[in-house]
Amino acid sequence: MRNLSLAKNFLNLSLLIMGSLVSSVGLAQSSGNYPNKPVTLVVTYPPGGGADAMARLLAPKMGEALGQSVIVENKPGASGQIAAAAVAKSAPDGYTMMLDASSFAVNPSLYSKLPYDSLKAFKPIGVVALFPNVVLVNSNFSAKNVSELIATAGKTKESVSYASSGNGSAQHLAGALFESAAKVDMVHVPYKGGGPALNDVIGGQVPLFFGNLASTLQHVQSGKLRALAVTSAKRSAILPDVPTLSESGLKGTEIYEWNAIFVPSNTPEAITKKLNMAFQQALDSPEVKSRILQLGGEIQKSNPDESQKFIEQQVVLWGRVIKERKIVID
């Protein structure tokens, strides 16, 4: 009986190993002629937003490089979690990619339970571009520079308030990092969307906003908003006269909004490399370059390993800010 039991165990183990080998061989064979059908690029946000626009800018160019159509599919909800959960469970065969935003690095610290492990379930193909935030005040606000803003905010907690598109949003987190770096406490005023928040800053109901360059530049140029600083490592070519926060005396405040393309983590290396090559070719397109630069972005020609390192750093950064400022979702 003991010999029979051992034989059964050996047989089961052999079948398990053979199954794994067949699966691995199947993926290897499929990667050889990849892609032989259209590829889906899942976007974690709805049509019309920044992430969607970036996906639709890149998709046709990547499709040209791959020799197959890249179809954009929007799957919004729960700050990208719905799309990410679906992509994490998809076959790791290169036919399902995901374009997400900087919230990808925020969610692990903002939500107690995610239906996936952000750093283990996905492999980045590449970071598309970095978009710096701008420290903006209503044109009638007293502060003319960052030093004056800090001095005003330091009087009392109620001295300065800042608007955002909601708790845990990019604008909220940028404001929270500013508070930590400047050692001040301000009043956070969350709105249901970036548009209403920006409108109230322009209207003077709230004096301060941490917005991305693309959506706020026209209001700076029209004189409705005053740009005090940018959050990039160097000055923006679009706003060359506006200093960085670091130049203004606040170190450790280099932050960006960004987009990146991911695939499930078990996607074969050969497919990942092919997708990264298509991604790089798309970024080299004059049309793509021109549009990203118009939006104030810094194009990133990164490989998967460099992108993974950057995203891990982002997860650590926002985890620290969320913990320090005790940020929670309502």
- Which CATH number characterizes residue 113's domain? 3.40.190.150
Q: Is residue 23 predicted with pLDDT exceeding 50?
A: no
Are residues 192 and 113 located together in one domain of the fold? Answer: no
Q: Are residues 200 and 114 in the same domain?
A: no
pLDDT tens profile 231-284: 999 999 999 999 999 999 999 999 999 999 999 999 999 999 999 999 999 999
Q: Which domain holds residue 268?
A: 40-130+257-324
Percent pLDDT > 90 in the chain is 84
d(CA 282, CA 60): 8
Mean pLDDT of 316-328: 95
Q: What is the tens place of the pLDDT at every residue in 216-245? A: 999 999 999 999 999 999 999 999 999 999
Both 288 and 267 in one domain: the answer is yes
Whether residues 125 and 262 fall in one domain = yes
Classify residue 22: in a domain, yes or no.
no
Name the pairing type of β-strands 208-212 and 225-230.
Answer: unpaired
CA–CA gap between residue 228 and residue 125 (Å, rounded): 35
Question: Structural domain tally of the chain?
Answer: 2
Is pLDDT at 136 greater than 70 in this prediction? yes
Q: Is residue 82 part of a domain?
A: yes
| In the predicted structure, residue 317 carries a pLDDT above the cut 80 | yes
Which of 211, 230, 249 terminates a domain? The answer is 230
In a domain, 284, yes or no: yes
Half-sphere exposure of 212 (CA within 13 A, CB side): 25
Region at 168 (left for phi over 0; alpha for psi -120 to 50; beta for the rest)? left
Q: Are residues 172 and 186 in the same domain?
A: yes
> Does 85 share its domain with 221?
no
Residue 204 maps to a domain? yes
Cα distance between residue 41 and residue 243, in whole Å: 37
119 and 185 co-located in one domain: no
Q: Are residues 158 and 220 in the same domain?
A: yes
